[in-house]
Structure formats: C-alpha cells, structure tokens
A and B are shown apart, each in its own frame.
Chain A
C-alpha cells in the first residue's frame, strides 16, 4: 500500500479518483487498483464488474523472488485495465522504465500509467519520456519544482514513448 501522496497528472495536481484496494476485501464500485496476482486469479469475475479497474506492477520480488513482476503478464488483461501503477521500490530500481515503454509502444496501452514509490526529481522527465503520465509525489513537492524539473532538458538524442524524435533523427527532418 503506498504512503501518503499527492497526484500529479498531465502536469497538474489533482484529486486521485483511484484507490488501492485491500487484497482481502471485495471491490467497491470505486476505480480500484489491485495486485497482478488478484487480477489473474479473479479475471473472470472482474471482467463482469462494471467499474474502472487498475493494476499495480511490482518491480521487486518482495523478498520472495529475485525479480519483479513481468509486464508481459499484463497482455491478456489489457482490455480490462484503465490504469497501470508501476512501482519504483527505490529510485535505483529502474525496471519500471522498460515496463512503461513496453505498455505504450508494444501493447499500445492508452490508459493511465502512473509511477508510485520512490521517484527522484531527476527521474520525472525520463518517466514521462517512457510514457508515464501520472506521478504519486511526496506531499512536499510543489507544482513549480515539478514543472522546473520537467523543463531542465529541452531535447533528447533518442526516441522513446513520447513524441520527441531525438537528435539523431531530427537533424534530418
């Protein structure tokens, strides 16, 4: 369960309509974020539910396995999902950057991609380039700090999941 956060979405602070659902309790009609294991176990029931559904993808094995959850496992369920919350357990664990690009570029996922967990100032802009549109930020971060960080580097060298083509291509438009 994430700590207290404020939601920065599409460049603005906003109210979070989503809740992280308790694993043990039945889902309400509120937009709910559940675990991958619950998604897999209850897929049939969830498919019949008439409310928005999201899933959280974990980047570490919680001490149980060496690896985190594999983004490829989401593919069969994408039509049910309006949101994927990608966990960054520490700023050092950058698995989620790849998960985001796979979702956007290979699965053409167009729902909300949000970053949860420990995310650094310097990482926001990179996350956006990988297709992440919403950020669960510490309450101390101001909109100004966030916007400044997003604008620190104007251009990029390489393409990613955003619309920047990258200098190697842009020089010869």
Chain B
C-alpha cells in the first residue's frame, strides 16, 4: 500500500489547518452558508436533510487495518456508531457536528487519509478494481497509476473549478469491475504487440439523468504520456464544456454534442501541445518508488487445493454456500479472494457498524496481509486469504453478521441513501432494498436465480446506478407520492449497456411484486445456465413487458 512521505503529510496537514480556519469563520458568522459552501464541498462536507455529511476518500478503494480501525473510531466518536460505504469506494458519515469536523480530519490525517476532493466540481477520488493484485490475468496493478493520478489531480490549480464533477476509473483487467465505461474518463491498462504497457482511454461515460457509455478516444497512450493526455482532456473540457446549465455540464454531454470525431481532434491537438513540453512525464525513479509500495505480498507456496477447506465445506453447508458465492479464485495457488457482503437480508446496503469495521480490520491484519478493499458495489474484500484459513475467517465474519452468502445475487443490491438521508431524493431506496432482500431471503432460491444485479436510485441523479442494473429501479415523485420505475438490461462491466424502461411506474405497494414478476419471467424462459442479463439480451424487453402489464 502507498505510504505518505513528508510531502504528503505536510500537504494534508496544511489542508486541515486551512479548513479549521474556514469552519471557525463559518461558526462565528463571518462566512455565510453561501460563501462557506464551495469551501466545505472541496473538503467532502455536504449539507444533507438532517445534518452535515462527511465523505472520506479511500483512494482506489484500498485500506489498511489501521485505517479501517480509524473509520470505526470516527463512527463511534463523531457519528452514531456506523458508516456507509459508497459506490465511489468511499465511506460517508451521516451525523458529524460541523465544528468537530476539523478534529475528525486531523485524526484521519494520522492514518494518511483525508476528505479532499470527495465533492465539488473537481477531479474526484480515483476508483479501481477491488481485486487488484489478487486476480489472475491482470496486466499491471492498476493502483500504481491510480496513485500517480491521485497525486497529479490533488489541488490541481487549473482543474478545481470545472463545469461539473469529474470521475476517473482505472482497470488493469479485461473483466471490468470498475465500471470504467461509466466514468468521465475510464482507463484500461493494455499491453501492445511490442510488450509495452500503456493505456486505452474512454471519455464521456456517466449516469445521472442522461446516461452515456464512454467513447473510446485513444487505443494506446504510452505510459510516459498519460498525464499529458489526461491534462489535454481536462483542458478541452474546462475551456469548451458547457456551464450554462448544470444538467448539461458533464463531459458526456460535451462529447455527445461535439461528436466523437471532433472531440478526438480537439483532445489530440491539445495533447500535442502539452506533450511537447515533456513537463508531465513522471520520472522513472518516482514510478519505481510508488510501484514499490504495491509490491506483491510474500505469498507462501501452497498447493492449489486445501484439505482443511474441503473438510470444512463437507461439514458445514452454510460455509460451503458462502465459499461458493463469496470467494473468488486468487492468482496465487492456495489463496482466495474473500468478499464480505454488506447486504445482510433486511439490512441497509453498504452500512457497517464500528464493531464490524474493527472485526474486518482484525481479520485483514491477521490473515490478509493487512489489506482491505471497498467495492463500488458497496461490499468489502479481504484480497489475500489462505484457503486453509477460510473457515476461521468465515466464523469470525459470521459472528459479526458479515457472512451473508449473496455476492452478485439478487439481494446484493446497490442502493443510494435515498429520501431517508438525501435532500435531492424523490423516494426511499433503502427500505425498498430491504423489502426485496426479504422477499428473496431464501438463499437456495437466490442461487437458483443466479447472477442478478438490482440497483436502486431514489432520484434521477442515479447515485444508485439504476441505469446499469440488470434490473434498475428509479424512485420518482408524482404529486407527492413515491413511485418506482423499472428498467431492464443495464450492465456496468466490459459489455456496458444502459437499461430500457419497461413502462409506467409501480407504487410502493406493487413494486416488489413487479420485481418478482420480472424474475419469474426470466426463470420461465432461461436456457440452461443462462444468466438473467443473457436471457434478456436474447429475448428482449417484450416478454417482460407483457407479464408486467398484463391486466
């Protein structure tokens, strides 16, 4: 994992001091809420329905046990004993008192963390693949370039007041778990025929009220030129992106209105000018320094299978089910990637208590080379667990209600905070996620249904990623009543697609039945081992529509 040097420490420390001054000026009344707003936003502080909310950055979703324990401490001391892991691989605290936030940030800085650029119209926290350096078939650990991008984009003097927020995601693997095509810039690490590593760049993806899949802008940007290329994209956007309407200000709208060909021409013209100076070519010594922090853990040489694991699975059916659903093959023989579901049946997606966070930290320290990952699907990962230790880890997770065996299944939903917290929402998301998971509580039934991603947003801003849910649910408000619209066929992986709306919306009373109708339509029509998304792509929307709206 990356560790701060004196420079990083100094910068974050100075930022905390600066923010303390701003908060003092706000509390004393010297700054009005209006004048304070842009300052607090740049430090991850939002004003929500009931209180200020603080969003803490977890760069590319990687945490150490010490950092996770700090989140538990913050939840206990400054909040109500829990935190919420988000679709941006960050953590949010819903109830901190404004005048205590500088103290909170100071404590956070002691474990090399901050809340910088987790909101505002700037380059946000870079996200990446939660299985980085654990999954087989990766070209390079995506966290190395993510860390370089994090540093380059932090307090960037030119790109901190962009037309709108800007999100960058990186993957080093052909199976995209970082939803790169739904980001303002998506980066895929590639190797060319000469064996050189470089980057395929996608620009202009996004969700919100006008969803777009990103367009491929460059096939292969050599390593040394990446920052120059990124700066070119950012500058073209900052100079020519729309600012007259905040709903049309994201780069996806610019790409759409300008056209892919002209956009590419603009970027390449700017890139040629920036690259000529060589100013943004990071020295190899610095790349080596950062890479060293991501060196592979010292794995043991172990057999590919584990007798201990096999015996435990034979004895304990619940454990076997959990292994099947939540443990993914590791690149190293004798290890597995453990997914910790934060979607207990009837629970709040993405929430974890202080005690749960500490339990995960303990397990990471003892069994996973001190590493934890946060996923954009709002779960946690212990990336490097010996197969021999799986049962021990499972038992410890189970004791803290963290062993729900539903990864990628129907109850593993993404949901935004919705009307329970958010002042933009039209409808509640969390209670609906809870009802759906209760309707399909039976795990055997969930396995039978197979991979099915339900994503719920409480409003058109799409924080719950409903556009890319296999089944997407959008909360809409009609004359003060909450309704839910269904869309089908979305996907956020390497075959990314935007879902299609089925038709008129459902009421709070009928939405869960409607979801069940969609599921039954699928199970009635699927061919052997066909996933929901594949059946949908084969048969199209009509059969689902017929069943949903049959009188």
Q: Is B2 located at the chain interface by the 8 A CB criterion? A: no
Q: Per a CB cutoff under 8 Å, which of A60, A98, A153 touches B238?
A: A98
Q: Is A130 located at the chain interface by the 8 A CB criterion? A: yes
CA distance A168 to B283 in the complex (A): 8
How many residues of A sit at the interface, in one of the four size bands?
35 or more
Q: Are B243 and A99 in contact (CB under 8 A)?
A: no
Q: Is A51 located at the chain interface by the 8 A CB criterion? A: no
Which chain B positions have C-beta within 8 A of A30?
Answer: none
Q: Per a CB cutoff under 8 Å, which of A66, A97, A154, A171 touches B242?
A: A66
Q: Are A99 and B239 in contact (CB under 8 A)?
A: yes
Which chain A positions have C-beta within 8 A of B316?
Answer: none
> Known: A105-B277, A172-B283, A172-B286. Is A167-B239 also a contact (CB below 8 A)?
no
Interface-lining segment among A14-22, A32-40, A120-128: A120-128
CA distance A99 to B238 in the complex (A): 9
Q: Is A77 located at the chain interface by the 8 A CB criterion? A: no
Which chain A positions have C-beta within 8 A of B285?
Answer: 171-172
Q: Are A169 and B286 in contact (CB under 8 A)?
A: yes
Q: Are B10 and A159 in contact (CB under 8 A)?
A: no
Residues of A contacting B: mostly: loop
Q: For the complex formed, measure the closest distance between the CB of A130 and the CB atoms of chain B, giving whole angstroms.
A: 5
Q: Is B154 located at the chain interface by the 8 A CB criterion? A: yes
Q: For the complex formed, measure the closest distance between the CB of A83 and the CB atoms of chain B, giving whole angstroms.
A: 21
Q: Is B413 located at the chain interface by the 8 A CB criterion? A: no
Q: Are A61 and B244 in contact (CB under 8 A)?
A: yes
Interface residues of A in 78-131 (CB under 8 A from B): 91-95, 97-99, 101-102, 105-106, 120, 122-123, 125-127, 129-130
Interface residues of B in 196-238 (CB under 8 A from A): 227, 235, 238
CA distance A95 to B164 in the complex (A): 12
Q: Are B161 and A123 in contact (CB under 8 A)?
A: yes
Q: Are A126 and B244 in contact (CB under 8 A)?
A: no
Which chain B positions have C-beta within 8 A of A156?
Answer: 155, 157
Q: Are B10 and A154 in contact (CB under 8 A)?
A: yes
Q: For the complex formed, measure the closest distance between the CB of A141 and the CB atoms of chain B, giving whole angstroms.
A: 13
**Interface readout for A135-171 with B: 1 if CB under 8 Å, 0 if not?**
0000000000000000011111111100000111111
Q: Are A157 and B152 in contact (CB under 8 A)?
A: yes
CA distance A166 to B14 in the complex (A): 16
CA distance A101 to B280 in the complex (A): 14
Nearest B residue (CB) for A171: B286
Residues on B close to A: CB < 8 A? Answer: 5, 7-8, 10-11, 14-15, 17-18, 35, 38-39, 42, 121, 148, 151-162, 227, 235, 238-240, 242-244, 273, 277, 279-280, 282-283, 285-286, 289
A–B Cβ pairs within 8 angstroms, 14 of them? A60-B244, A94-B159, A94-B162, A98-B235, A101-B158, A125-B157, A126-B157, A152-B14, A154-B10, A157-B152, A157-B155, A168-B151, A168-B283, A171-B7
In the A-B complex, the 10 residue pairs with the smallest Cβ-Cβ separation, listed nearest first, are A94-B161, A129-B157, A126-B157, A172-B285, A97-B158, A157-B151, A98-B238, A152-B18, A172-B283, A167-B7
